[in-house]
Structure 1
């Protein structure tokens, strides 16, 4: 080692130092970019939720579906209101005719001449206003109206499910950005440490206290840390664009996210679990499905009952007829008012109503079976989610302690390295151990938070708590 120090090539040493300085400059430029991005506005969780609720395509489609269901349950679509129909007609005709009288004679015995009628005009106008009202239809429209109300509530639950799923997707991306942001800061610190070690190796080499190998090792570590930082930054940029798509905003929008995470107390989560059957959106949808199928049966049974209707009409007719060979032209005005009632009873429709009632009952039974299946699946999912959340929380606690341990180990290794008691390889290993511990802690933190959000969704509380 001493021989290498004595016989080192000055030109080679100079180029090695220049290359190392170039790496340092690149690292400084990269870190300057990080500092610039740090000035971007902070996109809070509340802001992200508000943007998603307002702009997300899936949520807006779900809102429109709710509006359609709202329109369908309106009284205007219930069949309870009468129908009013107006109609009008106009006819015009003009005739040219020749009337012959064969075998007929005038009083003087001469043959009777032909009679010509030219441009004989006839006109006819009419207008009618008709009203119809179903007084009784076997209660079919009553149950159909109630069914449409249940359908509207079901559409609201479906929209809620869409919102919950979108928010879960939103936070999975949001917290991934937070994790990558913290990882980028950790990598920046690692790069700063490597740069500092490189400078110390340079000074030590200049004063003959170390070899060129120490400089090269530090240079290699700077290169690796710079590449890791660039990759993390690229991954962070890609993930931000993913979030911009979810929020339906410009893909180039710049922002930082909130990396602060708080967890809901366990006693509160246990309360949510106990009330899950009352709030889980999947269970609520199956209950609405049961109610809709129950009304379907009643709607189909209305086909067994008679229907009573009322009708009325008011009309006006004007008939202007042209003169003929035997009669002069006439104008006839006519006004009429009509009222009526009808009773129809389909005593036998070939068995169609019976088949529809049976099928509606089968659909109701299927919905009951589906509800039991979903109840079992939801119980399983909640228990699994609770176990996963508790496990993730324990892992996060362990990783926090692991960071403290590795931080202490790194500080001691740093002291020993500066005193020359350990090699640069041993120091680097302590640095890598600390880096891994910090990134693992970041991963554990956000995995635990996402597990909590999934549990909140299953208990039906995702939209009711402050995230």
Structure 2
């Protein structure tokens, strides 16, 4: 018994050891490398998986269903009505003398007035109708065109929503790039501040530097370290926001791809305006609304045409003592016409003409607004690119100036206050560089938006 217990204990220990080794091996497995994500890849992922786009896609599908349903109105309509119930009264059917004719040798049929009493009992009426629209085909054809434009309008709205999502992704990506660039700039400047602090401590020992100056150098190092910490924290949030826009888990790791050089916009303003007018979904929507309004006027005019249909009807009455006819079928023409409407159609048509005028005014205003937006975006992008160039050169000069001042201070050629002054100049240059990059990326995103790029 003891031997079995020992064997069991040994087996359990071996199993636990193997399980622990497995956990350690799993823990030591290297994490999968973060994917490299460009701005174009981020936009592509968002356009494929962004949840807000699904609603717009469903609107397009809904408009297609409405169009398919409306097309069936051009086909024959079939209706069947049945009424079954219990008679509550005793109806009487009277046949006058000779109502069925007078025959030689027989006389009138019936020979005298005859009444047929129908007792209270269950009865049924059956009525069927088939109508094939004729004159309505013109109005129905206009309705099909109207719903086709409605579907195209929903597709244009989907394109506009896709452009909005692409703009959101670009701005989120550029904000992340801006923060990462700012952090990189601060981290490059931090060793210079620490070197100044080191020199200040050495000077304090040699009694060539005041203690207040040494404390000022130490405070500058702490400020730069705090600035780096303040820049690291938003990066995680901005990555989560970008992942959410792309429709994937917010904790998915990735690396952004920085731009090694600024993109020089060489677009001709006229070509850029033509590009925007051809690409912007708002332009297509405005044009479709004008066509819709004109077509709606034609639909309203078509209501003056009488409704003429081919008609086939069938009726039957059951359990009425054969007093009522059964199996009555007719074929003919069905006409429905509102002869007088007290001026209603005229007023409705006038309202639709006003809607068409509003649509044309909106289309012209949109054309002018796009031209202004394109010109302004091109100028702002060029100005922002030049600002980045200037700020980059200023930052490099300030950084090199600080190094030179530190070197001169080591040779006792300058005072510490001159080094601290160079640090202040570098801090201002770093801040201007961050602002310039933010303005540039914002201008780039705005230019892509006004050009209608996805």
TM-score (norm 1): 0.72
User: What is the number of residues matched between the two proteins?
Assistant: 395
Task: Give me the whole-angstrom Cα distance separating, in 1, the residues matched to 2:359 and 2:148.
Answer: 18
| Match among 360, 370, 374 for residue 378 of structure 1 | 370
Cα deviation for residue 201 of structure 1 reads 5.3
CA 1:170–1:266: 2 relative to 1, 3 Å: same
Cα shift at 1:294: 0.3
Q: Superposition pairs for residues 95-106 of structure 1, below 5 Å?
A: none
Deviation at 1:169, TM superposition (A): 2.5
Please show how residues 260-279 of structure 1 align to structure 2 within 5 Å.
Answer: 260=259, 263=263, 265-267=265-267, 271-279=271-279
CA 1:454–1:270: 2 relative to 1, 3 Å? farther
The within-5 A match list for 1:59-458 is 59-74=53-68, 76-77=70-71, 79-88=73-82, 130-137=129-136, 139-199=138-198, 216-260=215-259, 263=263, 265-267=265-267, 271-313=271-313, 319=319, 335=327, 337-458=329-450
Change (3 A) 1:189 1:304: same
Give the stretch that moved more between structures: 219-228 or 434-443.
434-443
Distance 1:163 1:70, change over 3 A: same
Call closer, same or farther: CA 1:172–1:217 in 2, change over 3 Å. Answer: same
CA distance in 1, matches of 2:273, 2:139: 40
Do 1:138 and 1:303's aligned partners in 2 also have CA atoms closer than 8 Å? no
Q: 1:155 to 1:232 in 2, by over 3 A?
A: same
Q: Is the 8 Å Cα contact of residues 82 and 131 (structure 1) preserved in structure 2?
A: yes
1:49 and 2:57 correspond? no
Cα distance in 2 for residues equivalent to 1:419 and 1:38: 50
Query: For the residues of structure 2 that align with 1:320 and 1:51, how far apart are their CA atoms?
Result: 73
Residues 54 and 317 from structure 1, CA distance in 2 versus in 1: closer, same or farther, beyond 3 angstroms? farther
| Distance in 2 separating the partners of 1:316 and 1:257 | 79
- CA offsets per residue over residues 283-305 of structure 1, 9 Å max, x none? 33221111001001101101211
In structure 1, list runs of 5 or more residues that go unmatched.
1-35, 94-119, 322-329
The one-character-per-residue Cα deviations of 1:134-189 (angstroms, maximum 9, x if unpaired) are 22227222212111111221222222222222322222222111111111122223
Q: Aligned partners of 1:123 and 1:262: how far apart in 2?
A: 90
- Is the 2:269–2:374 contact (alpha carbons within 8 Å) kept by the matching residues of 1? no
Structure 2 residue matching 1:85: 3-state secondary structure:
strand
Q: Is 1:78–1:145's contact at 8 Å kept on the other side of the alignment?
A: no
| Counterparts in 2 of 1:126 and 1:262: CA distance versus 1, 3 Å | farther
Task: Give 3-state SS (helix, strand or coil) of 2:134's partner.
Answer: strand
State the alpha-carbon separation in 2 of the partners of residues 191 and 285 from structure 1. 53
Alpha-carbon spacing, 1:299–1:309, altered in 2? closer, same or farther (3 Å):
same
Contact preservation (8 Å) 2:273, 2:371: no
Aligned equivalents of 2:86, 2:139: Cα separation in 1: 46
Contact 1:138 1:304 in 2 (8 A): no
Alignment correspondent of 2:18 = none
Native 8 Å contact 2:186 2:227 kept in 1: yes
Aligned counterparts of 1:320 and 1:216: Cα–Cα separation in 2 = 115
Q: Is the 8 A contact 1:179 1:443 kept in 2?
A: no
Q: Deviations over 1:212-246 (max 9, x none)?
A: 66654443223212211111122333333443443
CA RMSD, Structure 1 to Structure 2 (Å): 3.8
Distance 1:91 1:180 in 2: 80
Verify the 8 A CA contact 1:308 1:342 in the aligned structure 2.
yes
Do the aligned partners of 2:262 and 2:385 also contact (CA within 8 Å) in 1? no
Q: Are residues 275 and 248 of structure 1, via their aligned partners in 2, closer, same or farther at CA, if it must alter by over 3 Å?
A: closer
Partners in 2 of 1:166 and 1:143 — Cα distance? 35
